[in-house]
Structure 1
């Protein structure tokens, strides 16, 4: 018996959210205390005794740091501990690590960080608002020594500058580093990256907060321009972030969370996991934004368990603006629910993620329920109906996402009556009626029912005009007139609030036009006009070149006539040599290259028009340029050989298809019905199996000899041959 869905699912949606108790037993690996239950400690060991100066010196010596730094550390460390101890217990081991990190910094005095923050604030604001620095008094000049260092840096960063930097004392480095970093930030950001590579090599590194500020500045203002693709030697931006902001360098006290979130956003999966484990191991006081940042990356990595672990931090923090039902948390939960799957357990089926969110106390809002609705329809139609009833009964207003899910389900099941009911509901709501995604989906449903599965007795002209009327009710018809698709006699319906057509809407109306009329000259005219408008960056037509869909529709229309073969070859040439397009808004549109479906359609055009030589040449080109055949490609090849009654070639193609990992399917069997002597095929396949090791891997079938044709036919075939030769020449790899 098929497992049924758990009856507790809807009960869980109806239940009140739980409040997770905050105590030491509910936290995983983290001890939390009531802030009012104890006084802030002094700098202390695990036995609560204050650490003396000599004890601090001994700790620094054990950690490999300079003991002479003890006097400078006691005061700032005490202040930091008193702040952190409000929410966490600082262990003796963590104290030692914190001392070592601070002692190994170029800047041990708080004044250095204060000076840096003042300068960085001015530089950041000036860049953000595109203006000059206002408070120039806080800016420190390079000085003669700084200018000399800058000259070496600009001349040979990894040679002369590195050698000079290694010979400098840590006091000299501390004096120069801030000034050079601020100057490079303003004047040469790319050189700043190389400067950071050199200056983080020593044990005494720049202050972690200063390094974070440099990277935050670069990431904010230069990531899209060049930083995301930056490389230097073996360094990439991702590896640089993972190295410079490695969790081993994270301060135990006063962790700068903006920098940690930068690390989480830009690091790889293993590095993010290491950062998450570090937070747990060190009992670092989490912030809601950081917890959600971890959650988002784990969702990207499809690591559901750790995404939920990150979410568990939110209620423990008791932050008023970030509880489990805040907007930011719900948005992350929506993203997480897109990964939800159904699992069977003891004869019942239930979602894997949703019950865990409900147990944590998350109360789904409409956006979350929309994702649940989509998941439910994918798993079970009845469950989808139950979720829909729940949403309506609890007064959740259906939005565009809800109706897209409902329309998708109805189209998948072929339920035309439900689609019409949904369309009536949508038509009554102006905001939904004008939604381009809803309009495209409704248009697509009409295309599926009236065009793609066209009744043999239907009037093609009437079907096209009915689709054109639906299009004209919502979309601007001018792009279609510019493509010369709309007949001159067609009367445009009034209405000044029509939206521009989406690429999907344009594709569907063009596909309808090609299926409802079969005149090659019209298709050739439209294709020529399409190329012109796309090259000009037409706002509605140019986006169509980003995928192969519209090109494939043109190929299907061209192959209906033997005279369209030259147009097929020309279209593939156009795709191969098309350049990117800049639209009227200055946005770059990347033109699509031929896909395996495009190549397969080109081959099928020659097969359908009984041109085996051309089909074989297309197959050679696909092999030469490593186009991987799919099952559709192999079925077209087999269909061509079977139609030509070429038994050995058909058998060989079937064997090659199976060797490529595809099996005979109903489409293959349909092609084999064309064989007049099918028994010979199975004999040929058996012979091939017996002598498989002796058969060459690639055999080109010789063209059947034919009697000389009339002059026009020879001239036409020569034109096709010239086009194929031209295409083959352009496809030769460039050395």
Structure 2
């Protein structure tokens, strides 16, 4: 193994911006044709080859940088050997054609177009004879051939000349067009006009201005609507399946328009029924309906909608299935809606079909794939989708564009370390470099954070690389450095970083940096408080630092400010986040231990939370504050009742009062740590019967025990000299996959007769074996070795306890 871990990644980073690697390559706005999977592209810049990107990026993006992080333009990416475009014969296209691509495919001479057709570089138009034969082979009316021919050949001329689509895929395009309820442009224009009126009226909150553009229900349609309203998935489905194509085409748009305006929830069941079978409404129309619902109703009721076994996700996956996506003119917003709302397997299938069928995708749609696979933590498919970007020839989304870099930042947060040929290297970063992506400061910040998590030496190397290439450290960089220094307990490094931050006003006022500096002060002065330290002095030190950064009013309202304390700020400080408030509560409880004060502060905390206090109420979204109160309560037996009350408050929070203007606060339920602290409080005070009741409550709420929970239970039974229950707890802990550790053995020192525990465990093992044999269940092969190892550990530990320790009450 290499002594310098990640040397390959560092070498690629250093070589990326070297003088020999600054020529634009294939991934940096190259006009050299690129061989794509299942498609071939001609390098032109005509509007017919690339639709103008007029839609906004409808993909949630997590920016890797913290506030105040500015974007730095990356240098030119490393060059890569351009690939020549090959024809069916596998020969290379003449070099003069590659160096001088035509400005407009439509302006090519007829001879050159025929030459490109022969070489398989552009898509051939379809003849009516071929279209007719395809329709007949799929039991579709041959009379559609004229309409389908005009439609598809127009799409080939407008959007298919920039890529090669094989004949198998074109036949599929014929079938998809033939299976549509609407084969005339008039039907699509009617839908477009009517839908636009309904959408604008909803968006702007006004009445529909041009009602004549919306097709009204006729008498037959009213009868169908009645069946939709009474039994959509039953009687209406039977009626719809019995109708012919013309009747369906007459009724579908009218019903869809009425449901969009009057009953959006029922529209989902209507779409389920009408998208079944061979002949369906056009993909773009169904996508419009679902986008309308998703835009205006998703947060209100759509995301939780259910009808029988159908959910919103299942409706999306069924009605917008990628096998129905148009080949030549895919509606990009409809495809992105499917990608955003479908499940992992469905999105993976969509990517596979898009590649196999050479579907026309825009850069933002490909990035939507990247974002979704990043959410699924599917690194391989996210990289596969990212590799599609340069092949799409979308200038707005080149490999050096800000949108691509932002998605790469999110993807790099999933980076892991792998070992290959004796060297350890990142998995994702080298592949991004090979694609021609030049890391900017935001991406390098994520790499820096990953490096420090993996290896401190590598983190220092990445930091040096950033400085050598002119990347100034920003708030994200300093946050990473502060976290690493605090985690290593390097107080000198923390002080040095704080001095650097204080010298830069922008960083000094950054709330993330201020919070981390405040936390580091807590770690070094309060959490690991010296036995000889003055608790009062420490509290005032933390209070002064808090007062220098944050508004002190919430602390006054919590009544933890001593009356004699005089604030040193003018009151213009920023309101605190939950983190500094939690730190001050923890500091207060560690510096004084009077139960009456803790109970008084918790009572005030409950009041402010119920009132929806803007600073105090958000503290209930995590269990940290509650756990700190529990630790303070358990110091006295009189605090046990307050411990129970606290957990009850978490189980049954005050709901309506927690709605704030900008967001709704969701109180956290008790975590495993919270339950463990509650259980440990009763065991610590030898309330064994009460602790059994706590365990019953934990089982009722399906709490999964941790190793800490089991060790506390064993400690309680051992302290009470309850040998059978101690043995049973040890066996139960092992059955859940936890092994005996030093904390377990430390608890067993309270046993007066350690040998009895060995006998009890042996008896439990014997009974388990007899039960297994009686039921005919073979024991696992590995049980013997694991049992022997466990027995040796217990045996040796108990022998030491029996010979060296005195009985303890």
Superposition TM-score, scaled by structure 1 size: 0.89
1:33 equivalent among 25, 32, 42: 42
- Contact 1:18–1:359 (Cα < 8 Å) also in 2: no
Deviation at 1:90, TM superposition (A): 3.0
Deviation at 1:50, TM superposition (A): 7.0
SS in structure 2 of the partner of residue 382 of structure 1: helix
Distance in 2 (CA, whole Å) between partners of 1:306 and 1:284 is: 17
Report the counterpart of residue 718 of structure 1 in structure 2: none
Distance in 1 (CA, whole Å) between partners of 2:701 and 2:392 is: 57
Consecutive unaligned residues in structure 2, runs of 5 or more:
45-101, 772-809
Report the counterpart of residue 195 of structure 1 in structure 2: 270
Distance in 1 (CA, whole Å) between partners of 2:26 and 2:645 is: 66
Report the counterpart of residue 81 of structure 2 in structure 1: none
2:219 equivalent among 121, 126, 144: 144
CA deviations 1:182-227 (Å, max 9, x no partner) are 1211221111112212222242211121111111111111111111
SS in structure 2 of the partner of residue 321 of structure 1: helix
Residues 151/391 of structure 1: CA separation in 2 closer, same or farther (3 Å cut): same
Distance in 2 (CA, whole Å) between partners of 1:457 and 1:608 is: 26
Alignment of 1:592-611 (within 5 A): 592-611=668-687
Report the counterpart of residue 708 of structure 2 in structure 1: 632
Residues 80/672 of structure 1: CA separation in 2 closer, same or farther (3 Å cut): same
Distance in 2 (CA, whole Å) between partners of 1:277 and 1:676 is: 67
Distance in 2 (CA, whole Å) between partners of 1:116 and 1:647 is: 78
Report the counterpart of residue 798 of structure 2 in structure 1: none
CA deviations 1:128-186 (Å, max 9, x no partner) are 11122233342333233333433333333334433443443322221221122112112
Distance in 1 (CA, whole Å) between partners of 2:728 and 2:467 is: 59
Report the counterpart of residue 424 of structure 1 in structure 2: 499
1:95 equivalent among 170, 177, 191: 170
Aligned-CA RMSD value: 2.6
Residue range with higher mean Cα deviation, 60-69 or 391-400: 391-400
Distance in 2 (CA, whole Å) between partners of 1:620 and 1:693 is: 28
SS in structure 2 of the partner of residue 343 of structure 1: strand
Report the counterpart of residue 576 of structure 2 in structure 1: 501
The alignment status of 1:8 with 2:11, answered yes or no, reads yes
The alignment status of 1:643 with 2:719, answered yes or no, reads yes
Consecutive unaligned residues in structure 1, runs of 5 or more:
696-735
Report the counterpart of residue 666 of structure 2 in structure 1: 590
Distance in 2 (CA, whole Å) between partners of 1:691 and 1:2 is: 52
Distance in 2 (CA, whole Å) between partners of 1:18 and 1:25 is: 12
Report the counterpart of residue 328 of structure 2 in structure 1: 253
SS in structure 1 of the partner of residue 529 of structure 2: coil
The alignment status of 1:465 with 2:540, answered yes or no, reads yes
CA deviations 1:283-314 (Å, max 9, x no partner) are 22321111111111222222222222211222
The alignment status of 1:456 with 2:459, answered yes or no, reads no
Distance in 2 (CA, whole Å) between partners of 1:162 and 1:677 is: 75
1:290 equivalent among 355, 358, 365: 365
Distance in 2 (CA, whole Å) between partners of 1:182 and 1:283 is: 33
**Higher RCO, Cα 8 Å, sep 6+:** 2
Alignment of 1:243-282 (within 5 A): 243-282=318-357
Deviation at 1:672, TM superposition (A): 2.9
Report the counterpart of residue 484 of structure 2 in structure 1: 409
Report the counterpart of residue 389 of structure 2 in structure 1: 314
Residues 617/691 of structure 1: CA separation in 2 closer, same or farther (3 Å cut): same
1:18 equivalent among 22, 25, 38: 25
Distance in 2 (CA, whole Å) between partners of 1:648 and 1:127 is: 69
- Contact 1:443–1:470 (Cα < 8 Å) also in 2: yes
The alignment status of 1:237 with 2:312, answered yes or no, reads yes
Distance in 2 (CA, whole Å) between partners of 1:624 and 1:322 is: 53
The alignment status of 1:392 with 2:467, answered yes or no, reads yes
- Contact 1:545–1:592 (Cα < 8 Å) also in 2: yes
- Contact 1:22–1:316 (Cα < 8 Å) also in 2: no
Report the counterpart of residue 662 of structure 1 in structure 2: 738
Deviation at 1:116, TM superposition (A): 1.1
CA deviations 1:481-508 (Å, max 9, x no partner) are 1111111111111234311111111111
Report the counterpart of residue 546 of structure 1 in structure 2: 621
CA deviations 1:504-537 (Å, max 9, x no partner) are 1111110111111011100010011111111111
Residue range with higher mean Cα deviation, 119-128 or 479-488: 119-128
Distance in 2 (CA, whole Å) between partners of 1:175 and 1:46 is: 44
SS in structure 1 of the partner of residue 397 of structure 2: coil
Distance in 2 (CA, whole Å) between partners of 1:30 and 1:686 is: 69
Deviation at 1:590, TM superposition (A): 2.0
Residue range with higher mean Cα deviation, 400-409 or 151-160: 151-160
Distance in 2 (CA, whole Å) between partners of 1:391 and 1:231 is: 51
Deviation at 1:541, TM superposition (A): 0.9
Distance in 2 (CA, whole Å) between partners of 1:624 and 1:63 is: 58
- Contact 1:18–1:360 (Cα < 8 Å) also in 2: no
Distance in 2 (CA, whole Å) between partners of 1:50 and 1:447 is: 72
Distance in 1 (CA, whole Å) between partners of 2:114 and 2:146 is: 19
Aligned length: 694
The alignment status of 1:621 with 2:628, answered yes or no, reads no
Distance in 2 (CA, whole Å) between partners of 1:202 and 1:619 is: 55
Report the counterpart of residue 139 of structure 2 in structure 1: 64
Residue range with higher mean Cα deviation, 657-666 or 469-478: 657-666
- Contact 1:608–1:640 (Cα < 8 Å) also in 2: yes
Report the counterpart of residue 359 of structure 1 in structure 2: 434
Report the counterpart of residue 726 of structure 1 in structure 2: none
- Contact 1:41–1:81 (Cα < 8 Å) also in 2: no
- Contact 1:539–1:583 (Cα < 8 Å) also in 2: no
Residues 252/639 of structure 1: CA separation in 2 closer, same or farther (3 Å cut): same
Distance in 2 (CA, whole Å) between partners of 1:200 and 1:369 is: 47
Residue range with higher mean Cα deviation, 335-344 or 609-618: 609-618
CA deviations 1:546-565 (Å, max 9, x no partner) are 22221111111111112112
CA deviations 1:224-267 (Å, max 9, x no partner) are 11111111222111111111111221222212121111111111
Residues 202/489 of structure 1: CA separation in 2 closer, same or farther (3 Å cut): same
Residues 169/564 of structure 1: CA separation in 2 closer, same or farther (3 Å cut): same
Distance in 2 (CA, whole Å) between partners of 1:404 and 1:523 is: 33
SS in structure 2 of the partner of residue 668 of structure 1: helix
CA deviations 1:324-348 (Å, max 9, x no partner) are 1111000111111111111222232
Deviation at 1:687, TM superposition (A): 5.1
CA deviations 1:444-469 (Å, max 9, x no partner) are 21121111111111111111111111
- Contact 2:38–2:357 (Cα < 8 Å) also in 1: no
